Amino acid sequence: MSASLFEVTGKVALVTGSTHGLGMSMAMGLGKAGATIVVNGNSSQDKIDNALEEYRAAGIKAVGYKFDVSDEDAVKEAVSNIETEVGPIDILINNAGIIKRTPLVDMEVADFKQVIDIDLVSPFLVSKHVVSGMIERKSGKIINICSMMSALGRNTVGAYAAAKGGLVMLTKNMATEWAKHNVQVNGIGPGYFATTQTAPIRVDGHPFNEFIVNRTPAAKWGDPDDLAGAAIFLSSKASDFVNGHILYVDGGILATIGKPSNED
């Protein structure tokens, strides 16, 4: 098998929500494999600038664009600027998202709608404005970042689960409509990863840490770098006949019902 199957050198990859966390990990993987990374965030320009320093320190060609992925006018303008100033977008990773941990019975409708808007509607908006160029060029890769909550329920994350479950079907429908144009649309479903955000609950003795380690056949939290291979595969020629698929990178969580507490 030729290494060129996984070649992304010279490709332009827009990764939304890539100033930190898993979005940055996937973007770093693509950047180290030779892609030019378009970093997106919306909280502050300083955060984008700090992220760009990290990418460039790793030897990655990266540029930053601050825009709100839930604002269609802002998305349309940003995509136009990126394609004019950086180049045609070959790879889009819809990673930006939020979560609000509130029991459904207590959740305000406005909060529920905000989660749906950012986690489900935004991937539609960004893809809609990026894919027109991909269709014209007869080439493109779109990756929607799904979740364990695309397939499983959990207390207090009903809005997030609804959005991520919907994102699976949006991914399949995007693939259905755009495959004839040689655009592949797939998803990645990350499991539980060791990030700065999860650090407070990954300490020995914390109930959630024990739950995840025991629930995961690999018996550990994922390393964010573990997502790089999936992102490269779904961004490269190696996945040209993979469409509408959700690749779960979860250490085996979805493969098992879990082990009894007294099992080795």
List residues with catalytic annotation.
160
63 near 38, Cβ under 8 Å? yes
Three-point CA angle 231, 240, 227, nearest 5°: 10
CA distance 68 to 131: 18
Measure the CA dihedral 234/240/245/246, to 10°.
Answer: 0
Sheet strands (E) in 4-131: 12-15, 36-41, 62-66, 91-94
Give 202's Cβ-side CA count (13 Å radius): 13
Measure the CA dihedral 197/199/200/203, to 10°.
Answer: 160
